[in-house]
Structure 1
Amino acid sequence: MTTIYPLIICGGKGTRLWPLSRTQSPKQFQKISGPESSTFFQVAVQRHRGGIYQDPVIVTGVTHRGTVVKQLREIQSGAQIICEPMGRNTGPAVLAAAHAISRKDPDAIFVVVPADHIIEGPLNKTIEACIPAAKAGHIITFGIAPRYAETGFGYITDAGPMEGFDTIRRVGGFVEKPPADKAQALIDSKSAYWASGLSMFSASTIIEEYAKFDPRTAAYVADSVEFGSNTPEALYLNEVDFAEAASEPTEGVVFEKTDRIAMATLDVSWDDVGSWLAMYNISPRDQNGNVLQGDVIALDAMNTMVRADSRLVSIVGLTDIIVIDTPDALLVARMDETQNVKKVVEQLKASHRTETEVHAEAKPAMVPFEKQKELSRLVDSDKFQLGTAEIEVGRTVILDQGARNRQVIVVQGSVHASGPGWSKIATEGGRIYADENGPVRIVNSGDDKAELLFVTLEKLEVGAHPTMSMVSNG
């Protein structure tokens, strides 16, 4: 029996779900309905397990590898993890996965699964029915009958039956996020479908088609796999080669040009959860139409969503309001204005606020060197100030901008550090220096808790500690 590899690409920033979703902790890694629920990513993995499926192939950034591993452990799922040195859109990510898996399984078939969508219904039944078409060399994109004239989605037009196959249809064209009047015309035509973001093809087909339409990128991506670092925990793509790949989506490079494209329709409930209004609409509500997540007291409130991640939140007399409370940022918005949250993020970025990228918590308690018995020999030195911090998987430490006399030594674990124009992996014994040109972000990208030693090579005032702050990836 043919089996399928779910391919889950964990990229994207999800700025419309700020302050929950941020650059270093995007939407897919956030819990869907409060502290006790699964994350979007975990639900995507669970949706395609067992039966016709192999363990998933996960393509993610180096900084997110630790979070991926942690969340896979929580649902007891294996996976092949591929780490990108930098984001290059979906095209190179899909192509790299095809090269990596086809080396051990030349007949591999992929279904590309969005990491952050909500899908309910007989999805896998339709996917299984499309296996013969994928084996025959077709690239199948999945469409969903539109419920209304949405301007934020792409559309696929139906050009009629595909000869020789009952499950797929010919594609007339693709329409990317049309204006309202064109979206309505597509609805009225009865032949247009929302583009779901799911697709299906054999590894050999996507490799052949990519080489046909963008041979330069195809060659560089192939080399990024060939000369990457294949370790037990992940395949790390070669940075020099991968950086040369054109940053383009698979749809634009291949789907819209190939004569192998086809469409299968899905009879499912689907939402890309692209705003807080969408999040409200998919969440269970109480008798007053409220969605209350976390420690919340609501009096005389109707049709309101409150998410309290770290403290008690009380509301009185609110209607049609969104309240999202995180440790370092609070969002209050009208339901009908939630699409404009991204404008808040744009202002934060313009002001170089870290709240766009990371979740800030209180600074960790730095342990003075005199309490570190193994380092007691440094007690009498006037040249050092030491401190330690333990960093959970997926969390981030920011080493503030400054001179190289401030540094971090990795005592245990593996971290990914990035500063202005550079990045590196540091394992036990590795050093990371402060940068005079900007802050350095240190992410625990390993499988377990990391322990860091902070060193300032100068005499500090009594009680002072190396300058740094802790932030959380969610």
Structure 2
Amino acid sequence: MILPVIMAGGSGTRLWPLSRKLFPKQFLPLVGEQSMLQDTCARLAGIESLPPLLICGDDHRFTVAEQLRESRTPHSGIVLEPAGRNTAPAVALAALRATVGGKGNKADPLLLVLAADHVIKDVAAFQASVSRAIPQAQAGKLVTFGIVPTAPETGYGYIRKAAAVDDAEAAFAVEEFVEKPNLDTAQEYLRGGDFYWNSGMFLFRASRYIEELRQFRPDILSACEAAIQGASIDVDFVRPNKDAFLACEDESIDYAVMEHTRDAVVVPMDCGWSDVGSWSALWEVSEKDADGNTARGDVILQDTRNCFVQSDGRLIATVGLESIVVVESDDAIMVAAKDRVQDIKKVVERLKAEQRSEAQVHRKVYRPWGYYDSIDNGARFQVKRIVVNPGAQLSLQMHHHRAEHWIVVSGTAMVTCGEKEFMVTENQSTYIPLGEVHRLENPGSIPLELIEVQSGSYLGEDDIVRLEDRYARA
């Protein structure tokens, strides 16, 4: 049986201002109605497999869980990396979790390792390549999927194939893995026909990956074994032991195993693949008008060609532009030449250096109970729109530096304030004094929406003392 392993970590900066550290691109609906994570799960529907096992960081755990719930996607657990250590340790955690028997897992499944932030236009072709790879993985091979190149791309690593390993020429031995080439070299690769783009997708038996890791990187395996043995279970979350995992080296699967094993094979995949690593890459895979423009949201284009323009709210009007990217989010606007979008990461580095919140979070922040949107703020006040999901509740908490006024816009709120517990319905309000223990809950069957006005000497999110919390944040 196949166990999909979806790697949903990372904090992509190249798609800023939409992608932020706490809400990166894999959680964004960049190419359709669903997020990229949800699309990744959906394309498994034609493959006979167990529910996917997710790998992500602690900061993203509730976003992953909520997007799975929203798309009604069953899963085999969510493994929380204590820190980012690249793909080799992440997949080691998944392989060890699978072989010791997680929820619904068999003893030694085939691991289909996927990234949560890839675009695949031809899902049937993707599934067909996975089917062709299964016999190789069952025979003990470590399969990597090579994307049939369509251009001399310098932003991807390459895989050079050797002789076919089956009569149907569905799989080939791996001759070598090649780093990102310059343009001349990439053009040679394209003309030669023996090279594929390195997709970062794999299929192998869990035990075979562990065996190869034990041979080539026993230090990584040892650290991950200790981390899994010391793991704790928190509802759907698997928390590997932090101290053990932090001893692990930062290494990719390619460097740790695939470049050394004698059992690496590559299965070609021609499926309209992209890792959407920049705004220009997103423009390339998006629908365009007759002038080559991609326009999303409230956009008016006048004498504009080959541009990507996206508005999340406000009207954007362009005149006389060519090959430009314009992206408006709730708190930032980014304008860049399409051939310079790789330098957006330098802007993010400056934002981080200046400790600006725009590098970390959006104005709208998702929580396990729903989300809040910071509408306005100033000296000693802040206004938020808060939406609480049906049946959800915030932690029992108090604040040292601020008081809060709550006005219910729709739905019904169950409020705990000190020793009192009472209901607040539409068009009613209540006051939470500074220092008072309180909690907000939605007992209804529709979302609870309210406006919160905070006032006080300090209004930061770290002025929350959690006393009880159903999401293990206390």
Same fold by TM (over 0.5)? yes
**Rounded Cα–Cα distance in structure 2 between residues aligned with 1:95 and 1:332:** 40
Aligned partner of 1:83 in structure 2 is 80
CA distance in 1, matches of 2:433, 2:185: 72
User: Aligned-residue CA RMSD in angstroms?
Assistant: 3.1
2:28 to 20, 27, 30: 30
Residue 65 (structure 2) aligns with: 69
2:418–2:437 CA contact under 8 A, matched in 1? no
Measure the CA separation in 2 of the matches of 1:265 and 1:257: 20
SS state at 1:268 partner: coil
Distance 1:277 1:292 in 2: 13
* In structure 2, distance between residues paired with 1:60 and 1:235: 10
Does 2:421 correspond to 1:365?
no
Of 143, 147, 151, 1:144 maps to 147
Deviations 1:113-156 (A, max 9, x none): 12111112211112112212111110001112222221110000
Shift of 1:273: 0.9
The one-letter code sitting in structure 2 at the alignment partner of 1:168 is A
The code of the aligned residue for 1:374 comes to C
Would the aligned equivalents of 1:370 and 1:376 in 2 still touch at CA under 8 Å?
Answer: no
Q: Which residue of 2 aligns with 1:119?
A: 120
Change beyond 3 A, Cα 1:343–1:401: farther
- Residue 9 of structure 1 contacts residue 59 of structure 1 at CA under 8 Å; is this kept in 2? yes
Secondary structure, counterpart of 1:262 in structure 2: strand
Deviation of the 1:75 alpha carbon: 1.4
Q: Is the 8 A contact 1:365 1:389 kept in 2?
A: no
Residue segments in structure 2 that go unaligned for 5+ positions in a row? 364-373, 385-401, 407-414, 421-431, 448-455
8 Å Cα contact 1:158/1:171 also seen in 2: yes
Q: 1:368 touches 1:386 (CA, 8 Å); kept in 2?
A: no
- Report the alpha carbon displacement of residue 205 of structure 1 after superposing the two structures with TM: 0.4
Superposition deviation, residue 266 in structure 1: 1.0
Q: How does 1:234-313 map to 2 (within 5 A)?
A: 234-313=237-316
Name the amino acid aligned to 2:93. Answer: A
Matches within 5 A, 1:6-405: 6-33=4-31, 37-79=33-75, 80-104=77-101, 105-121=106-122, 122-162=125-165, 166-360=169-363, 361-362=374-375, 365=383, 368=403, 374-375=417-418, 384=435
Distance 1:204 1:12 in 2: 26
Q: CA deviation at 1:313?
A: 2.2
Deviations 1:38-63 (A, max 9, x none): 11111111011254121111100111
Kindly tell me the number of residue pairs found equivalent between the two proteins.
Answer: 404
In the superposition, the TM-score normalised over structure 2's length comes to: 0.78
Q: Residues 12, 292 of structure 1: CA spacing in aligned structure 2 closer, same or farther, 3 A cutoff?
A: same
Tell me by how many angstroms 1:83 deviates: 0.9
Compute the displacement of 1:179 (Å).
2.0
- Partner Cα separation in structure 1 for residue 273 and residue 62 of structure 2: 29
Contact 2:121/2:273, CA 8 A, preserved across alignment: yes
C-alpha distance in 2, partners of 1:22/1:349?
11
Does the 8 Å contact 1:49/1:55 carry over to 2?
no
On the 8 A contact 2:8/2:26 being kept in 1, the answer is yes
Moved more, 236-245 or 183-192: 183-192
Structure 2: distance between partners of 1:83 and 1:172: 34
The one-letter amino acid of 1:84's match is E
In structure 1, give the amino acid aligned to 2:118. Answer: H
* 8 Å Cα contact 2:301/2:318 also seen in 1: yes
Once the two structures are superposed, residues 388-439 of structure 1 have per-residue CA deviations (whole angstroms, 9 ceiling, x without a partner) of 88999xxxxxxx99999x8413366456xxxxxxxxx52xxx3xxxxxxxxx
Contact 1:134/1:201, CA 8 A, preserved across alignment: yes
Shift of 1:200: 0.7
How far residue 92 of structure 1 moved from its aligned partner, in angstroms, is 0.8
CA shift at 1:319, angstroms?
2.5
* SS of equivalent to 1:332: strand
Q: Kindly tell me: are residues 261 and 165 of structure 1, through their superposed partners in 2, closer, same or farther at Cα, counting changes over 3 Å?
A: farther
Q: 2-side partners of 1:195 and 1:262: how far apart?
A: 12
SS at match of 2:297: strand
Shift of 1:209: 0.7
